[in-house]
Amino acid sequence: MWCNDETRFKKHRSVANIKKAFVDLLQEKPFEKIKVSEIARKAGIDRQTFYLHFVDKYDLLDKMNKEFLQVYKTILVERLEGDNSFALEKLEKIYQVNLPYLKEHRLEVLSLLKIDTGRICLKRDLRKMLIDKYQEITGEALTSF
């Protein structure tokens, strides 16, 4: 499908508004109580527009989690690339570099970390990613984390 710049901008703006509305609603009520119609209303769109971008609220949650994990993993990999040593100082540097991103997206990240649908759980996925990265760098298995 051919898209001009205006169409791409509208799509990006709609998705951004949907995500913001979702995070705002997560401040008011638990995930299980949020309806697509509420997300759409708060985003200033109709439900049909929501469904152009997402299958349901679980799809929205899953995509937001995957997006966060991908960005966070990219930041981590950039900081660790080419250096297989692991030291506390390096870990501190990683968190200092990541802190601006986490501060900027604080509300979103904290909201997403609270949700565990069984299949979708940012906290579990983030933990696994960090453990895997630690094991990759050190060659050591983490016994607790």
pLDDT tens digits along 18-34: 999 999 999 999 999 99
Give the model's pLDDT for residue 122.
96
Q: Are 118 and 125 in contact (CB under 8 A)?
A: no
Q: Are 65 and 109 in contact (CB under 8 A)?
A: no
Residue 100 has a CB neighbour count (10 Å cut-off) of: 10
**DSSP letter assigned to residue 84:** -
Q: Are 44 and 17 in contact (CB under 8 A)?
A: yes
Give the model's pLDDT for residue 141.
78
What pTM was estimated for this model as a whole?
A: 0.81
Q: Are 65 and 122 in contact (CB under 8 A)?
A: yes
